């Protein structure tokens, strides 16, 4: 990896952005013997997944907690990637220190579920079995180029037909159940199946990530199914370790990665891309440009609306990117111990008493406020990665869903501090003497996420995960990675199949390009 600005060889492909998807695309294209350069504006790669020191001696593992959704096709094991066998257990904590250590595996989960009367043991087992059965279909959807639903060519009909056949292969009962559940609200669906409010709230949290939604919003059950069907073992060492192995894979294949190089515009001649211009004034020429930054930034800022037909411009402006997630990193001078399970080293925890409580948080966000009882999505990276804090200390990352980008009155230092205080107060209700253990804290509001990572609206997934925006992402004209500009492709989380630690948008975009080239030659 270089951060020199005098690296001006000629390349076949320029990739804008060295986040997970830019690196994944670079790996695939470089393995196909194309000359690839990745241009990253920051001094480090990894984008939203990059781990960083937020206080001397304390590192975050990036803003990301959950690495269970990584798709396997990139063959990163030879570059050091390891995964746990199953998704890690999560401690769900509610009022009065009631807690549930929720294991993914229903047999392991049973004894904990018994503590709440046992009525959810069977339903949890049924829930997991259903997820297992629909996994092949769901994984197929997120691993391939999406069908062109409005296309009329033979290939389009074949793709739609084979998607239909794969759905029907689930069997009538599961197919109907999937079609019924997808558009439902996650609250209605979980209420139908389970009784324990704490279990329901804990299961609902991932369904809300990246959506401008509360648990009672329609379509959030679809987001839960997407999350659950993708979940496998977590990456050992978290997103930091994933970034390292992607860099090794991309460089081993011959890709050049340049940091500290911000692309200021995409160069076009006669509706065909010719390269990019960087903020240092240097152009980098290439016949193919893949943009892993978000679609609004790519099309409206780097390309420019003048290059788009009015309908395409209108569609990309309408694409929804209302950030709703904030992060608080805490440096603690001791291990984090929850009063509910003081003897356990807990790596992942979720607070949130009930679905109603989660909905109230969203209610506040809708009206431009943040709630003082928001659920906390907690990760302690120093458990898996002891180097991320001094010995005996810990670093703690907390994600808060329901913090609006468009805060009433706007974000400033005082409001950022207020958010930090609110989160610490919330966490203190589950952890004794927290205040005295805090060495430092870092608060990232959605506005901070926007300015730090260059993502419009500070949106964690480069665009909301509403069902409509998952079906056609980001717009019809760009839904299959190609854009109206010849040679310009999207390859970040704002493309199919959406955001998260999957590396799928970068991987499929690159494969799509190779297939097209293969067909042409
Ligand atoms: C707070 C938070 C929590 C999250 N938690 C989770 C989680 O727990 N689980 C999960 O699966 N996902 C999570 N995500 C989502 C996940 O991080 C993203 O979907 C994924 O990392 C995005 O990868 P990407 O490569 O598509 O984009 P990015 O990581 O945004 O990469 C784009 C890169 O482009 C660079 N760039 C932008 N503009 C330019 C330019 N003009 N020139 C050059 N470079 C440029 C940026 O600096 C960046 O490095 C979270 C995100 C956030 C913000």
pLDDT interval class at 245 (50, 70, 90) = very high
The Å distance, Cα 169 to ligand 1 centre, comes to 35
Structure tokens given for 262: 């911000």
Ligand 1 contacts (CB < 6 A) are 16-22, 39-42, 47-49, 63-66, 69, 262-263, 292-293, 297, 302, 325, 327, 399, 449, 453-455, 460-462, 492-493, 499-501
Q: 339-355 b/e with 16+ CB inside 10 Å = b? A: ebeeeeebbbbbbbbbb
* 444-474 residue pLDDT tens: 999 999 999 999 999 999 999 999 999 999 9
Q: How far apart are CA 153 and CA 2, in angstroms?
A: 45
At 25 the pLDDT is 98
Atom 35 in ligand 1: residue holding the nearest Cα? 17
pLDDT interval class at 2 (50, 70, 90) = low
Q: How far apart are CA 374 and CA 356, in angstroms?
A: 11
pLDDT interval class at 3 (50, 70, 90) = low
* 189-228 residue pLDDT tens: 999 999 999 999 999 999 998 889 999 999 999 999 999 9
The Å distance, Cα 34 to ligand 1 centre, comes to 24
Atom 36 in ligand 1: residue holding the nearest Cα? 17
pLDDT interval class at 491 (50, 70, 90) = very high
Residue 4 has pLDDT above 60, yes or no: no
The Å distance, Cα 49 to ligand 1 centre, comes to 6
At 175 the pLDDT is 96
For the CA of 264, the closest atom of ligand 1 is: 41
For the CA of 17, the closest atom of ligand 1 is: 34
Return the SS3 of 201: helix
Q: What are phi and psi of 6, to 5 degrees?
A: -105, 25
pLDDT interval class at 341 (50, 70, 90) = very high
At 151 the pLDDT is 82
At 72 the pLDDT is 72
The Å distance, Cα 443 to ligand 1 centre, comes to 17
At 8 the pLDDT is 57
Return the SS3 of 13: strand
Residue 5 has pLDDT above 60, yes or no: no
For the CA of 494, the closest atom of ligand 1 is: 26
Helical ranges in 339-463 per DSSP H: 355-366, 381-384, 413-428, 434-437, 446-453
The Å distance, Cα 340 to ligand 1 centre, comes to 34
Residue 519 has pLDDT above 70, yes or no: no
Overall size of the chain counted in residues: 521
Describe the strand order of the beta sheet including 376-379 as a list of residue ranges. 99-102, 90-93, 348-351, 376-379, 394-401, 325-332, 438-444
Residue 6 has pLDDT above 80, yes or no: no
Residue 61 has pLDDT above 90, yes or no: no
> What are the DSSP calls for 70-119, one per residue?
--GGG--GGGT--B-SSPPPEEEE-GGG-EEEE-SSHHHHHHHHHTTTST
* Farthest-apart Cα atoms in the chain, separation: 68
For the CA of 261, the closest atom of ligand 1 is: 43
Atom 11 in ligand 1: residue holding the nearest Cα? 500
Return the SS3 of 367: coil
The rounded percent of the chain whose pLDDT value lies above 90 is 83
For the CA of 459, the closest atom of ligand 1 is: 53
Task: Pick from 14, 15, 16, 19 the residue to mutate for probing ligand 1's pocket: most ligand atoms within 8 Å of its CB.
Answer: 19
Strands (E), 57-182: 58-60, 90-93, 99-102
* 116-130 residue pLDDT tens: 889 999 999 999 999
Return the SS3 of 283: strand
Residue 256 has pLDDT above 90, yes or no: yes
At 353 the pLDDT is 79
Range in 51-60, 146-155, 463-472 the model is least confident about: 146-155
Residue 7 has pLDDT above 70, yes or no: no
* 354-406 residue pLDDT tens: 999 999 999 999 999 999 988 899 999 999 888 899 999 999 999 999 999 99
Q: How far apart are CA 2 and CA 110, in angstroms?
A: 51
The Å distance, Cα 147 to ligand 1 centre, comes to 25
Mean pLDDT of the chain: 93
Task: Pick from 48, 60, 224, 263 the residue to mutate for probing ligand 1's pocket: most ligand atoms within 8 Å of its CB.
Answer: 48
At 101 the pLDDT is 95
At 74 the pLDDT is 87
Range in 61-65, 206-210, 345-349, 415-419 the model is least confident about: 61-65
- Cis before residue 497, ω within 30 degrees of 0? yes
The Å distance, Cα 186 to ligand 1 centre, comes to 25
At 9 the pLDDT is 64
For the CA of 48, the closest atom of ligand 1 is: 29
For the CA of 64, the closest atom of ligand 1 is: 5
For the CA of 379, the closest atom of ligand 1 is: 8
The Å distance, Cα 450 to ligand 1 centre, comes to 10
Judge contact between 423 and 398, C-beta under 8 A: yes
The rounded percent of the chain whose pLDDT value lies above 70 is 98
The Å distance, Cα 317 to ligand 1 centre, comes to 20
At 264 the pLDDT is 97
Residue 112 has pLDDT above 70, yes or no: yes
Beta bridge pairs of residue 102: 90
For the CA of 45, the closest atom of ligand 1 is: 49
The Å distance, Cα 489 to ligand 1 centre, comes to 17
* 261-286 residue pLDDT tens: 999 999 999 999 999 999 988 899 99
At 294 the pLDDT is 98
Residue 520 has pLDDT above 70, yes or no: no
The Å distance, Cα 46 to ligand 1 centre, comes to 8
The Å distance, Cα 500 to ligand 1 centre, comes to 8
Return the SS3 of 258: strand
Atom 20 in ligand 1: residue holding the nearest Cα? 500
Atom 10 in ligand 1: residue holding the nearest Cα? 500
């Amino acid at each position: 990896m270089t951060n020199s600005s005098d690296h001006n060889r000629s390349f076949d492909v320029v990739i804008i952005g060295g986040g997970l998807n830019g690196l994944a695309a670079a790996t695939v294209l470089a393995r196909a013997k194309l000359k690839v350069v990745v241009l990253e504006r920051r001094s480090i790669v990894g984008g939203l997944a990059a781990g960083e020191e937020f206080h001397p001696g304390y590192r975050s593992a990036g803003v990301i907690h959950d690495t269970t959704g990584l798709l396997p096709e990139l063959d990163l094991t030879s570059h050091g990637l390891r995964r746990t066998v199953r998704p890690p257990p999560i401690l769900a904590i509610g009022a009065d220190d009631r807690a549930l250590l929720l294991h993914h595996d229903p047999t392991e989960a049973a004894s904990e579920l018994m503590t709440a009367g046992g009525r959810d043991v069977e339903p949890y087992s049924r829930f997991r079995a259903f997820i297992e059965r629909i996994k092949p279909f769901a994984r197929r959807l997120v691993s391939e180029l999406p069908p062109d639903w409005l296309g009329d060519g033979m290939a389009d009909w074949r793709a739609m037909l084979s998607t239909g056949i794969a759905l029907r292969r689930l069997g009538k009962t599961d197919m109907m159940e999937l079609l019924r559940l997808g558009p439902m609200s996650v609250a209605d669906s979980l209420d139908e199946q389970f009784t324990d409010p704490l279990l329901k709230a804990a299961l609902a949290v991932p369904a809300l990530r990246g959506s401008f939604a509360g648990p009672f919003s329609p379509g959030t059950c679809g987001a839960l199914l997407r999350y659950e069907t993708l979940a496998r073992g977590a990456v050992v060492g978290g997103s930091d370790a994933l970034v390292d192995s992607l860099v090794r894979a991309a460089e081993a294949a011959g890709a050049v990665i340049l940091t500290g190089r911000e692309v200021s515009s995409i160069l076009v001649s006669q509706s065909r891309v010719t390269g990019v211009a960087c903020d240092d004034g240097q152009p980098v020429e290439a016949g193919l440009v893949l943009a892993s930054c978000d679609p609004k930034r790519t099309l409206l800022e780097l390309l420019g609306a003048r290059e788009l037909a009015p309908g395409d411009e209108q569609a990309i402006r309408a694409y929804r990117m209302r950030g709703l997630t904030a992060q608080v990193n805490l440096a603690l001078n001791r291990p984090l111990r929850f009063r509910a399970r003081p003897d356990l080293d807990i790596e992942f925890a979720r607070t949130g008493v009930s679905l109603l409580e989660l909905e109230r948080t969203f209610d506040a966000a809708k009206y431009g406020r943040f709630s003082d009882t928001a659920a906390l999505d907690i990760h302690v990276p120093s458990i898996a990665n002891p180097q991320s804090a001094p010995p005996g200390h810990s670093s703690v990352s907390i994600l808060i869903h329901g913090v609006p980008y468009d805060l009433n009155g706007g974000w400033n230092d005082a409001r950022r501090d207020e958010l930090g205080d609110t989160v610490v107060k919330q966490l203190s209700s589950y952890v004794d003497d927290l205040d005295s253990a805090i060495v430092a804290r870092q608060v990232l509001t959605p506005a901070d996420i926007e300015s730090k990572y260059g993502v419009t609206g500070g949106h964690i997934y480069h665009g909301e995960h509403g069902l409509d925006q998952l079906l056609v992402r980001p717009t019809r004209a760009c839904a299959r990675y190609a854009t109206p500009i010849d040679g310009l492709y999207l390859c970040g989380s704002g493309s199919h199949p959406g955001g998260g630690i999957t590396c799928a948008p970068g991987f499929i975009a690159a494969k799509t390009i190779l297939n097209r080239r293969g067909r042409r030659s």
